[in-house]
Structure 1
């Protein structure tokens, strides 16, 4: 009796299309993550919170633009808008980040991802880019509404529109910094557990529990301690960086402005490196 195997052709069509590779996988993960952040392609329940937050922020932007057109003065700058929306961004991140990474841990889909030519770095980059994009859009679109309100009500013609654009672009840059920082911290916390409720609670705790430390340091009689107090909390760190970049938040940083900039960059890089180490460990299991 022959031991040779036989392959039967039962009529399935062969795939003859292009092999897209790792970049296409990254792109697919990014698009899926960005859609998931706003509940697109999911149930109506998943859409309620992100679109409620987005609606509130749009409403604030419309009110700011309307008041400016009536009284002729800016009541809320672009950087101030980002800072004022901090708490909404925290809760948005607490809901979205677990959706992007905790679900994969709980459902056990990571081994399937990494069984293909997809590396841990590809996964981290795609998820981080999706989270950053979601937070930036949440801030950037209302800021653009404010820009339109300022541009259409200016009395200086093209010069006024150009000046308004000069205010918008740094505001978008500040919003991008906010998105980079909040996305890195929230994804790192969410990557530690497959339980979305625990991940959400952990994210809120990281951002809010550090706030009293700032209050304690600010109340000390030392001027140096007061000027360095904002290093202790990510939301306040963001405010300090905005002040250093030329904002008008009425806080005193002294000569420590560059220190805040260095910490902000270091915090973002550290979150990404730890995330990468975390998923390299998962991929090797």
Structure 2
């Protein structure tokens, strides 16, 4: 009969030291995270650090506005005639902005919603409002750069071809400042509206379609109201569309030929309406991300 052997039990797990060390460097904190998120969003808007396919659309738009600015600068240098002012240039490029934000706003926020990475963002020292505002700042900066860059090209051409020396350069700069401020109005309004719409869905195609609809489908309403028999209705008709709202507010703030709309004495109403629209969109955007993060 075989003898019974006594077995000794040993622990089933062993801890191995594979060389991991604790991080002893500086904790960069919330401000650095927000700055990194903003910079990443701005790079994403222009396809930097991404595939060649992602660069095609934004740089096509950049190329179009740059070519237009270069042609205007060449005509001025050749014939000495200002075909389009800086502010008029920003307003004339507004139709391109619609498609620019319709593609880029979903790229900035809808992709994160679809992939479900927001809990990873909010597990860091990053507030929900920080995420929304960093994305908004990135998109607004991209739109402003899209309009402001060609304006600087036009300014360089005008400054080098002036015939009155430094006085002419200074006058040219004074013409440039309203144009840059007007471009900032376009950037803020278009960025807030488009990002709010894009934050409502994780499907980029739906978000892009919704953004285009908001800007284009409100334009016929302006046309209907502008032919009503009431004069006050005609003057306030441009409130019905974000595009005409910016044009009217810009025409009131920076009055110059070819820029002002037929708004009579209702300019302050358009200024207040623009501020209210931006504030409402930002508030709704922040509320949207408070809800998303709570899921």
Q: Which residue of 2 aligns with 1:278?
A: 288
- Structure 2 distance, partners of 1:272, 1:89, is 19
SS at match of 2:124: coil
What is the number of equivalent residue pairs in this alignment?
283
Cα-Cα RMSD = 1.5
Query: Does the alignment pair 1:94 with 2:102?
Result: yes
Q: Find out whether 1:28 has 2:41 as its counterpart.
A: no
Q: CA deviation at 1:145?
A: 0.5
- How far does the alpha carbon of each residue in 1:127-168 deviate from its partner, in whole angstroms, 9 at most, with x for none? 011001100000000000010111111111111100000011
Cα offset, 1:10, TM superposition: 2.9
Between 1:109-118 and 1:48-57, the stretch displaced more is 109-118
Question: What stretches of structure 1 move > 3 A for 4+ residues in a row?
Answer: 5-9
CA distance in 1 between counterparts of 2:219 and 2:164 reads 42
Q: How does 1:119-268 map to 2 (within 5 A)?
A: 119-245=127-253, 246-248=255-257, 249-268=259-278
Q: Which aligned pairs between 1:59-74 and structure 2 lie closer than 5 A?
A: 59-74=67-82
CA-CA distance at 1:172 after TM superposition: 0.5
Which whole-Å CA distance do the structure 1 matches of 2:242 and 2:218 have between them? 8
For residues 120 and 36 of structure 1, the distance between their equivalents in structure 2, rounded to whole angstroms, comes to: 20
Q: 1:76 is matched with which residue?
A: 84
- For normalisation by structure 2, the TM-score amounts to 0.93
With 111-120 and 88-97 compared, the bigger mean Cα shift is at 111-120
Deviation at 1:70, TM superposition (A): 1.7
In the alignment, structure 2 segments of 5+ residues that lack a partner are 1-8
* Residue 25 of structure 2 corresponds to residue 17 of structure 1: yes
| Counterpart Cα distance in 2 of 1:223 and 1:122 | 44
* Match of residue 66 from structure 2: 58
Answer yes or no: is the 8 Å Cα contact 2:248–2:260 preserved in 1.
no
Q: 1:69 Cα deviation (Å)? A: 1.3
- Distance in 1, matches of 2:276 and 2:256, equals 21
- Residues in 1 aligned to 2:164 and 2:246: alpha-carbon distance in whole angstroms: 33
CA distance in 1 between partners of 2:186 and 2:155 (Å): 19
Once residues 110 and 82 of structure 1 are traced to their aligned partners in structure 2, the CA distance between those partners, rounded to angstroms, is 35
> CA shift at 1:30, angstroms?
0.6
* Unmatched 5+ stretches in structure 1: none
Residue 115 (str. 1) matches residue 153 (str. 2):
no
